[in-house]
Amino acid sequence: MLSWLARVTLSLPRRDPTDDLVLEEVAARAWCLEQVRAGPWLLRASGGHTRLANAVAVLDGGGDDTGAPLAERIAQAEAFYAERHLPARFQLADGDRHAALAGTLERRGYRREEGGDSTWWRAPLRSLRSVAPAERDGRVLIADAPSQGWVDLWWETLGAPESEKEAATELLWDLRGRCGFAAHVTNGEMVGVGLGMIEGPWLGVYALGVREDRRARGSGRRIVCALATWGTAHAAQTAYVPLEDGAAACVGLIGQLRFTPGSRFHFLRRDLA
């Protein structure tokens, strides 16, 4: 039904830098179990699973490094994470916007976290729908809650410590009814999963994973494109994906799907005393 769209050349809209700020705020609220507003910051915790879900989202310019309010906010954030037995961590934009805050944190003993340098990627949903593959190899089913099989496959593909699985599962169950849980099923077996989260015109794509023996066979592409169709039906217009620099396979996939890179971010962390 969509075959004619594949022959249309779509021009991607020019990225508006102000969209970076909007996206950062939308994403800050999306992927976490617990969140507490502290002035212009959002303190997020999810039992330690993923940096994004366990870091302070700095939603303003970061403030200067001279006034007491900034010191008090940092102390409040540190107390928040200490109470949850988690390291204090800040998610900061690359460049000048958070440079003053970064300097203050570094003087307090924070260090840049290895492996955390990441980029926000985005794509119009119409462009994703135009490159959707034909359903010749199973189907992508989207539910409003994850099955245990969905959780187990996602965790298998993630390769994260088993000690984090309980917190991660709690986060997924908290998202029931607010997300689309996609599963690529072929020959009666689930071979790939992904999660779509909508807020306003934005569709966040998270938890994308494909079974090892099914990689490089189009499963990830099918899942993302199916979530794009689902997101369009829920009035979303633009998809976004946060990706760490080391995720080469995922970067390759979203490049094929016409995602374009946006702003970059990293994490500063201070371990528990």
* 184-211 tens-digit pLDDT: 999 999 999 999 999 999 999 999 999 9
- Domain's final residue, options 77, 95, 119: 119
pTM, 2 dp: 0.85
Q: pLDDT value at position 102?
A: 96
Q: Are residues 126 and 43 in the same domain?
A: no
Q: Are residues 131 and 110 in the same domain?
A: no
Distance CA(15)–CA(2), nearest Å, equals 26
CATH number, domain of 168, equals 3.40.630.30
For helices 165-174 and 148-158, angle between their N-to-C axes, nearest 10 degrees: 130
Q: Are residues 165 and 108 in the same domain?
A: no
Q: Which residues contact 60 (CB under 8 A, 6 or more apart)?
A: 40, 41
pLDDT > 90? residue 77: yes
Q: Are residues 139 and 239 in the same domain?
A: yes
Domain count, the chain: 2
CA distances from 118 to 54, 95, 122, 194 (A): 15, 13, 13, 19
Domain range for residue 126? 121-262
Q: Are residues 126 and 258 in the same domain?
A: yes
Q: Are residues 110 and 141 in the same domain?
A: no
Looking at every residue in the chain, the average pLDDT score rounds to 85
Is residue 10, in this structure, part of any structural domain at all?
Answer: no
Q: pLDDT value at position 14?
A: 45
In the predicted model, what is the mean pLDDT of residues 245-264? Answer: 84
Q: Are residues 113 and 135 in the same domain?
A: no
- Domain's final residue, options 51, 84, 119: 119
Q: pLDDT value at position 252?
A: 82
Q: Are residues 161 and 175 in the same domain?
A: yes
